[in-house]
Amino acid sequence: MSRRVRDPQVGFLMGLLFLALALSALQINPQTAASSQVASAQQQSDDEDQERQLFAKEFLQARSTGMQKRNTQSQRSNNGRTQSTAVAAPSMLGITLWRLRPADKKDETQARLLEQESDSEVILIGERVGAETIFQEGQKVRLGVESPRSGYLYVIDREQYADGTYSEPYLIFPTLKTRGGDNSVVAGRLVEIPDQDDRPFYFKMNRHRPDQTGEVLTFIVTPQAIPNLELSRKALKLTNDQFAQWEQKWKAPTRRVELANHTGKAYTKIEMTAGANKTTLLGPADLPPQIIFRLTGKTTGAVMVTLPLRYSTSSAEK
C-alpha cells in the first residue's frame, strides 16, 4: 500500500519537472531577442533601400522613355509612319524641395540664384531637404515637380492648424504669372514653383495664424486640363466642396519614398536649365527627384498626392 502511494507522488513530481523544463525552453533569451530585433530592423532597412532604388530606377527609366518618344515623334520612316517604342509611363510623381541659403564657393557658379534687394544683391543656392524637414519662420523654399506621364499639373495649398482643421484651399499653380498659365507636363520636364522669372522666385515660410502648424500641398496631374478655372496672376481661391470633389475623383492609395542619400545636395546647373526652359528635359543620368510617390491602388487616370510642410514649434512660441 505504501508503494502504491509513493508511485503517484513520484509521477507527479516528474511531471512538474518536465513542465518546468518545457517552460524554461520556451523562454526567450534576452540576447537572442535583441539580436532578432536588430535583424528585423536591418531587414526592414534593406527592404526600404531596395524600394528606394527601384522607385528611382523606374522614374529615371521613364525619363529615358519620354526622351525616346519625343525623338521618334519627330522622326518619320520612309513610308511616312511614326516609329515609336514608347511604353506606358508609370503612375508616379516626383517632388524636390529646395531650401534657399547663401551660396558659397563650393556651389556651381551657373546654378546660383540672384535676389535683387533694394540696396544690395544676395546670391542664393537651393539645397535639397527632406519631407520631414521642420521649417523656421522666414525660410525661403522652392519646389520642383516632375511627372513621368504627360498631362496637366495643379498644386493646391492649405494651411493646417493645431486643432487639425485646414484653411480654404488655394490653387497656387498654375497662375498667369508663371509661364503664362502653361501647366503641361511630360517626362523629364522640370516644373519649378515659383518660376525663376517670378518675383519673388521663392515661397517664404510664414504663418498667417499663431496656431498654424504647417502648409499642406496637394499635387494633381490630370490627363486633360481641368475646365472652367478662371486663372489670374494670383492664386485662385477654391471652395472646400470643389476640392472635396477632386479628392473623391482622383485620390488613390500611394507609396512615398525619399532618396535620403541626396538630402543636402545643391541645386545643379542642369536643374536650373531644365527649370528655365521647358524644351530642356532631364535625362536618366541626372539626379532623380528627392521624393517619389507611386500609386499602389487602382489608377484613376490621374495622380493626386499630398505633401505636408511643418513649422517649427519653437517659432510659434516666439
In the chain, % of residues over pLDDT 90: 58
pLDDT score at 85: 42
Q: Which of 142, 63, 58, 133 is nearest to 100 (CA)?
A: 142
Residues 6+ apart with CB under 8 A from 69: 84, 86, 187
pTM of the model: 0.80
Residue 14: the pLDDT is 62
Confidence bin at 308 (pLDDT 50/70/90): very high
* pLDDT digits 0-9 by tens, 152-191: 999 999 999 999 999 999 999 999 998 889 999 999 999 9
What is the model's pLDDT at position 317?
Answer: 43
pLDDT digits (tens, 9 = 90+) for 107-136: 988 999 988 766 678 899 999 999 999 999
Q: How confident is the model at residue 8 (pLDDT cuts 50, 70, 90)?
A: low
Domain boundaries, the chain: 2-73, 92-317
pLDDT of res. 74: 47
What is the band of 3 on the pLDDT scale with cuts at 50, 70, 90? very low
Tell me the mean pLDDT in the region 237-258: 94
Instruction: Return the C-alpha torsion angle 295, 297, 299, 303, nearest 10.
Output: -30
> pLDDT-derived band of residue 44, with 50, 70 and 90 as boundaries?
low
Place of cell 517626362: 187
